[in-house]
């Protein structure tokens, strides 16, 4: 195995809670085996903000809730041969997507922001404004799953996915042996 050139991996967290990145660490000591096979390029784990080279695998946590998420996702699609959606938020929007429909409103985003910053019972916001600094990425009308924005090659389900399914899928993909998940490993929670 060691004579093979190492695969390059990149990761990003979009509209997620970073739980899926924490779950990558749940691979535990097998990370040492995994690191024999891969180098990590752009990722919060390396703190590299840009791609230094084209990558073999891109791993995306979270869906797209703002403009910046869409830019990052497009950048990953352009620079990665295989793109993996990791966890329910990346797969179907997850918790952030609750704002799309669960509130009974014609303008769910506005209602969400107003309740969060202005009308909510326990809010102490002296400006009485929704944050609107130009540096803040523009929120999208809805939260979108990654697959609605770019083509996604594989999805690893879970909230967060267990260390086992992440390790198993990555090591099989890296050795060309991935043929789908063991049914017992599929979990949406």
Partner 1 sequence: MSGTKKETGFTFTIDGVEITAYAGETIMEAADEAGVYIPRLCDHEGLRHQGSCRVCTVKAGGRSVAACTQPAAPGQAVENESPHLTKMRRDLVEMLFHEGNHLCPICEASGNCELQAMAYRLDMTETTRFPYLEPCRALDASHPDIALDTNRCISCGRCIRASEDVDGKGVFGYVGRGIHRRVAVNGENLADTDAQVTDHAISSEVCPVGCIIRKRVGFVTPIGEREFDKGLIGHEIEARRK
Name the segment binding partner 1 (CB under 8 A); options: 47-55, 71-79, 84-92, 113-121: 84-92
Instruction: Check binding of 92 to partner 1 (CB under 8 A).
Output: yes
**Residue 180 in contact with partner 1, rule: CB under 8 A:** yes
State the Cα–Cα distance between residues 17 and 75, nearest whole angstrom.
Answer: 21
Measured CA to CA, the distance from residue 113 to residue 118 in angstroms comes to: 8
Residue 60 contacts residue 14 (beta carbons within 8 Å) = yes
Residue 187 within binding range of partner 1, rule CB under 8 A = yes
- Calpha distance 92→75 (Å, rounded): 20
All residues at 6 or more sequence positions from 124 whose CB lies less than 8 Å from its CB, including other chains: none
Shortest spacing between CB 169 and partner 1, in angstroms: 10
The residues in 137-166 that bind partner 1, with binding defined as CB under 8 A, are: 142, 145, 147, 151-153, 155, 157, 159
Q: Which of 170, 146, 180, 166 is nearest to 20 (CA)?
A: 166
Binding of partner 1 at residue 93 (CB under 8 A)? yes
Q: Single out the segment in contact with partner 1 by CB under 8 A; choices: 2-10, 54-62, 68-76, 90-98.
A: 90-98
Which residues contact residue 159 at a Cβ distance below 8 angstroms, ignoring those fewer than 6 apart? 19, 87, 88, 89, 94, 188, 189
Stretch that binds partner 1, among 24-32, 45-53, 67-75, 96-104 (CB under 8 A): 96-104
Dihedral angle at the C-alpha atoms of 109, 112, 114, 120, nearest 10 degrees?
A: 180
94 contributes a contact to partner 1 by CB under 8 A: yes
Q: Which is nearer to partner 1, 102 or 136 (CB)?
A: 102
Instruction: Give the interface with partner 1 as residue ranges (CB under 8 A).
Output: 85, 88, 92-95, 97-98, 100-105, 142, 145, 147, 151-153, 155, 157, 159, 180-181, 183-184, 186-189
């Amino acid at each position: 195995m060691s004579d093979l050139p190492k695969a390059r991996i990149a990761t990003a967290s979009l509209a997620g809670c970073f739980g899926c990145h924490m779950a990558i660490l749940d691979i535990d000591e097998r990370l040492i085996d995994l690191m024999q096979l891969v180098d990590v390029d752009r990722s919060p784990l390396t703190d590299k903000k840009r791609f230094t080279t084209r990558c073999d695998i891109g791993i995306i946590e979270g869906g797209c809730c703002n403009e910046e998420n869409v830019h990052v996702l497009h950048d990953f699609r352009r620079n990665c041969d295989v793109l993996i959606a990791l966890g329910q938020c990346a797969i179907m929007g997850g918790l952030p997507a609750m704002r799309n429909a669960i509130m009974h409103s014609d303008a769910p985003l506005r209602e969400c922001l107003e309740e969060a910053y202005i009308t909510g019972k326990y809010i102490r916001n002296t400006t009485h404004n929704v944050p609107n600094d130009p540096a803040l990425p523009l929120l999208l009308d809805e939260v979108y799953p990654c697959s609605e924005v770019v083509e996604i090659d594989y999805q690893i389900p879970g909230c967060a996915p267990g260390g086992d399914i992440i390790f198993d899928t990555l090591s099989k993909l890296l050795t060309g042996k991935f043929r789908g998940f063991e049914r017992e490993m599929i979990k949406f929670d």
